[in-house]
Amino acid sequence: MNPAPTRRAAALSAAIISAAAAFLLLCAPLPPALAQGQTESQPEYSVIVERDVMVPMTDGTRLAIDIYRPNGSGRFPALLERTPYDKGNSSEIRVGAHEYFAARGYVFMVQDTRGRFASEGEFYPFLDDGWLENRDGTDTVRWIAAQPWSNGEVGLLGGSYTGQTAYMIAPTQPPAMKAMFVRESAADLFDHWVYRGGAFEHAFITAWSTRTFGPNIVERTFRGDEREVARARLEAAIGNLERDFWHLPLSRYPLLRGSPGWKYYYDWLAHNHDGPYWWQQNVGLNHGRFQVPVYHLGGWYDIFLKGTLENFTGIQRSGGSALARGNQKLVIGPWVHGPTNVGKVEVGELRFPGADQVDYNAIRLRWFDRWLKGLDNGVMDEPPVLIYVMGDNRWRTEEAWPLARARVTPYYFHPGPSGSVASLNDGALSPEPPKPPPDAAHPASFAYDPNDPVLTLGGNTLFIVNGPTDHRAADVRSLTFTTAPLAQELEVTGPIKAVLHAMSSAVDTDWVVRLGDVYPDGRSILIADGILRARFRESLARSRLIEPDRVYTYEIDLWATSNVFKAGHRIRVSVHSSNFPRWDRNLNTATSPEHGARSETAINTVFLDPKRPSHILLPVIPR
């Protein structure tokens, strides 16, 4: 995964070579995936552009594609992005990939997906991109392979929605498709995109549907005076989005109702359980049909981190061919979502030195040079995993994910005080289990009022504040459990899970758990978080209300991280029942917030005794 050498990198390399041996001993070497490049395509072509070429699908619908071709004789490998966001302003166009790759001997193409911008048909997210009745991605790859400028080798690339369209082509395996590079997308649209732990990804999905999809839906759906009225309503809704996040029930959100372009939004709210509706487009259930090498890129604070990790591990383990199994690559940086954030050093409220050593286009060039041009550039000789270890602030290669040497260590909740925070309880956190009676701790309780939720302050989200941010304002309103200042650094790298033994006075509620790194100056920086809607404690496909005042065991998935808690820092776990508007508010009633409006205040209780030892499981890496 070597980036192309830059003038600065070349100058630095020359300086190191000429430096004294003592200086070399002080400089830790870069991982192979970040060191100076080997064989790679060079920028030797001017670029020919063809716009709005109409590509026929099997059902007769025509989809528009822009083509950026090397100005040279012969046939070339091709790269394809498929986007709903306007092919002239797609994620790849914004990072200059069209000119970068075309100059280096690739035909680069961006296509408007069905029902968007210059393409024909009706828009419904993802429905026509995969392996169902319409297979627009597969039809497009086959069309590309038949063109006179094509050598029959096609790669797929993109991220977020356009990464999802790439993942969804793979199970159909058109013969010309040889490799993929996907940034930040999902394995499971239900639990990695639209819902999480049974809670609706409200801020993301609602803002995405209005701000991102809305203008083009209005232009395609309405005519004349109706269009002007629709434009005005959309502009007003976008301007009042923070107010409208509070609207209940969600299924009667007024702006989007009545337009076929937003039908999916209400379908998604209606299907608030996992099941056949979602399974028909579940990439994770189709890992065994992947036939090609895939490079997966994500960020520790990306909204689709879980999908990136699961697609890598699933295809690496059970891909449908020897070219897929064992030929997956993974890189995770300290980033939030979006192509222009790859390589950023300033993320949220923190700075991550060296994060800019990953050149997004250059690492993809090496990947496609190897698989579409057959260049012997050493990319497959490098370890399959590259992660940025926060806290240490350095890149590190690994042989697998999760790390085999991780020791899953429970850190138990205790009554405290920790003396570190003005929270509801100021509890303590320790690897020591709770002591038996008569010293057994009393449980810790809090009131959760859906009309006064804890507000979102950052994390793995989109369209609202995100990334690593100070959560002291949320800790004040939460149960917290905090370690003493660490005598030595502690690395946590891998999947994280919290286990709560808890009860509620209501028939349903949410459990939100945050993991934080508390700095000596008091900042409580979010590392990871998760949510579980109590009615989905047994299965996301089947809901069961809880009995009030009965103790249940809840397992909350906080996804994953790689962070070194430095000496003098503290580890903090915070517990509440809301993180709004990132996730919709549980109303503490039998009716879901997708369909109800009446709410109740719940008294929620977390147990801390030896028989019910609430805790968090941290993948500790020996140092």
Sequence-ordered list of residues with C-beta below 8 angstroms from that of 177, at least 6 positions apart, any chain: 141, 154, 155, 156, 169, 170, 291, 292
What is the Cα–Cα distance from 58 to 316, expressed in whole angstroms? Answer: 32
pTM, 2 dp: 0.94
Asked if 216 contacts 222 with a C-beta cutoff of 8 angstroms, the reply is: no
In the 8-state DSSP scheme, what is residue 361? H
What is the Cα–Cα distance from 43 to 20, expressed in whole angstroms? Answer: 35
Strands 350-351 and 385-389: unpaired
- Looking at residue 439, its pLDDT comes to 66
Q: How many other C-beta atoms can be found within 10 angstroms of the C-beta atom of residue 27?
A: 9
Average pLDDT by stretches of 10, the chain with 623 residues: 38 35 35 59 97 98 98 97 97 97 98 98 97 98 98 98 97 97 98 98 96 95 91 91 93 79 94 97 98 98 98 98 97 97 97 96 97 96 98 98 98 96 97 85 95 98 97 98 98 98 98 98 98 98 98 98 98 98 98 94 97 98 93
Encode burial over 457-466: b for 16+ CB neighbours within 10 A, e otherwise. Answer: bbbbbbbbeb
Which residue in the block uniquely carries the two structure tokens 């579940």? 282
In the 8-state DSSP scheme, what is residue 490? E
Tell me which CATH code domain 407-621 carries: 2.60.120.260
- Looking at residue 254, its pLDDT comes to 77
Which sequence positions are flagged as catalytic?
A: 160, 302, 337
Tell me which CATH code domain 33-191+279-398 carries: 3.40.50.1820
What is the Cα–Cα distance from 470 to 551, expressed in whole angstroms? Answer: 32
Domain residue extents for the chain: 33-191+279-398, 199-271, 407-621
- Looking at residue 623, its pLDDT comes to 86
Give the amino acid at 102.
A
Structure tokens of 273? 């359980």
What is the Cα–Cα distance from 272 to 274, expressed in whole angstroms? Answer: 7
Backbone angles phi, psi at 24, to 5 degrees: -60, -35
- Looking at residue 34, its pLDDT comes to 56
